[in-house]
Amino acid sequence: MKVSIQGIRGSFHHMVANQYFDSFELNECSTFESLVKSIVNKESDYGIMAIENSIAGSILPNYALIDEYNLSIIGEYSLNIDHNLMCFPNQNIADIKEVHSHPMALLQCSKFFSNYPHIKLIESEDTALYAKKIIDSKIKGVGAIASLDASEIYNLQILESSIQTIKNNKTRFVILEMNHKNINDYDKAALKFILDHKRGSLATVLNIMSDCSLNLTKIQSLPVVQTPGKYSFFVDITFKSVENYQKAIKIIQLMAQEFKILGEYKYQNS
């Protein structure tokens, strides 16, 4: 079994793969689009994609990728994001002049670095990527922000652990595959629909969900590129009764101009 992630070994996507799957072959992808294409082209069986962060919110382009390439969400996993400052061994924080990491990691650790004005923060593609570069090129005077797994994989020294400003920092990842499979044991669904551009259309759909005892856990809108002023709605819903869920989507399908089930899977209560 082959699993695609965005990033490299030691990244947070890699941590999710390790915790979600028992055994797999890892396929490292530099971008989310290349991750998606690896699944579409059958280079991988599954993909793992970050979809939202408890601090930064939704990763909107990833919703569009899942929709555009007709991928199916078959599961989810919420990971506590713990940022750690690491460097080539036998240094201290006074030796560090630059720190490289993903822009989101730098932002989430900004309060920590306000105490170290001598350190320049520089954006890179991935949290683990620069950690690997430090050890590969034996770079001193430069640090990286990454996971504890990355420090162990690349034999880096931890200067400070858990440096993120908000300690309760979670990212939700979805597990993707190419073809939707009908399953019986599910209590969460991801849907996409486009409605008539008229007053009350969204409120009507939300009332249907409520009447059918569906719990709306997330709603996100994205503009329809071809039709300015019109929006696609992406929603996550949980439910106790599959029958009530199926009743609701039959009604919504009749109302919507476009309707798609992006995934049906087991809810992970984080």
CA angle 97, 149, 138 (to 5 degrees): 40
> Do residues 260 and 192 touch, judged by C-beta distance below 8 A?
yes
| Token pair for 86 | 């690491």
The pairs formed by 161-167 with CB atoms below 8 angstroms and a separation of 24 or more are 161/82, 161/84, 161/85, 162/82, 162/83, 162/84, 163/83, 163/84, 163/85, 163/109, 163/112, 164/81, 164/82, 164/83, 164/108, 164/109, 164/112, 165/108, 165/109, 165/110, 165/111, 165/112, 166/55, 166/108
Q: What is the pTM of this model?
A: 0.91
pLDDT at 270 > cutoff 70: no
In tens, the pLDDT along 146-188 reads 999 999 999 999 999 999 999 999 999 999 999 877 777 899 9
Q: What is the pLDDT of residues 90-145, one digit of tens each?
A: 999 999 999 999 998 999 999 999 999 999 999 998 899 999 999 999 999 999 99
Q: Which helix (H) or strand (E) holds 64?
A: helix 60-68
Query: Of 199 and 28, which is predicted with more confidence?
Result: 28
pLDDT at 55: 81
- 3 state SS for 66-90: HHHCCCEEEEEEEEECCCEEEECCC
Domains of the chain: 2-80+169-177 (3.40.190.10), 84-160 (3.40.190.10), 188-265 (3.30.70.260)
